[in-house]
Amino acid sequence: MGQVSHLTAPVLERYLLQAKLTGAQASLRLEGPQARILGDLHILGIRPGVSLGIAGLHTRDSVPALGTPVTLSVLLGEEILTLRSTLLPAEPAAGLSSLQLAWPELPAQVYPRRDMRVAAPAQEPLKAKVGLENRSLDALLVNLTESGVGLAFRESLLVDLHTAVQIDAELPDGASLHCPGEVRHLSFLEGQAFPTRLGVILHPTPTTDLGPMLRFIQARRTDRSQSLRKS
């Protein structure tokens, strides 16, 4: 496990400003009876010590009740910023796709992105079908990021680097991942039920829809950040 950083108020403000300027991806977990994940968000505005504007709410998303406690997760390069807040009345001028949060509670926390991997040891791997050299193989998707996947196979495979693959996986929310990729890493783990491991870089085509995968990653990262907070 990497080092967890607890942020002071001035450092938190710098992180949030960076997230706003770069359009960093964010997700919001609603706590309590309305518990659910809102994804595809970004930081719209910052009023230090007062409030935080969040944009990207979809028309299909119902607006949470005022005072709802939330956990916000923001992807910043190789770090994940997580913080806790509550929902405030929306700013009328900001539009219907925005939410207003109270200024985050301290301490906010930053985790190394590698500790927030999807399908981390405490989370169930996903099942996938992998098209490889005119074969269709069952695999476990043991790692998933915006740019690549880690696959585990029962079979012993000898695969050349840069071999093309096709990945088809069903996500828990019913959405699917269908994307071509390229093998960039091969390893064998002795004594494992799925000993062959492939690291694959995704190569989405113009018609590939990665939206469901990105929303799934955001949701899993939020879950992971909460479990790390409690540990």
Residue 9 sits in the same domain as residue 108: yes
**CB-CB contact of 101 with 89 (8 Å):** no
Query: Do 197 and 148 share a domain, yes or no?
Result: yes
- Its domain, for residue 146, covers 126-218
Same domain, 86 and 10: yes
pLDDT, residue 227, reads 57
**The pTM is what?**
0.55
Same domain, 102 and 44: yes
- 230 within some domain: no
Q: Give the pLDDT score at 1.
A: 42
The full DSSP string for the chain is: ----EEEPHHHHHHHHHHHHHHT--EEEEEPGGG-EEEEEEEEEEEETTTEEEEE---TTSPPPPTT-EEEEEEEETTEEEEEEEEEEPPPGGG-TTEEEEEPPPSPEEEEEGGGG-BT-TTSPPEEEEEEETTEEEEEEEEEE-SSEEEEEESS-----TT-EEEEEEE-TTS-EEEEEEEEEEEEE-TT-SS-EEEEEEE---TT---HHHHHHHHHHHHHHHHHHHH-
- Tell me which residues of the chain have a pLDDT lower than 50: 1-2, 116, 118-122
Please tell me whether residues 30 and 88 are part of one structural domain: yes
Q: Can you give the pLDDT at residue 35?
A: 67
In a shared domain, residues 105 and 141: no
Domain containing 161 — which CATH number?
A: 2.40.10.220
One domain for residues 91 and 172: no
Determine the pLDDT at residue 121: 42
Last residue of a domain, one of 83, 114, 145: 114
The pLDDT value recorded for residue 224 is: 60
Domain boundary among 114, 144, 160: 114
The total number of structural domains that make up the chain = 2
Asked whether residue 133 falls in the same domain as residue 211, the answer is yes
Examine the domain organization and report whether 162 and 187 are in the same domain: yes
Q: Is residue 33 located within the same domain as residue 90?
A: yes
- What is the model's pLDDT at position 63? 73
pLDDT given for residue 223 in this prediction: 63
Question: Which pLDDT value is given to residue 32?
Answer: 72
What local confidence, expressed as pLDDT, does residue 173 receive?
65
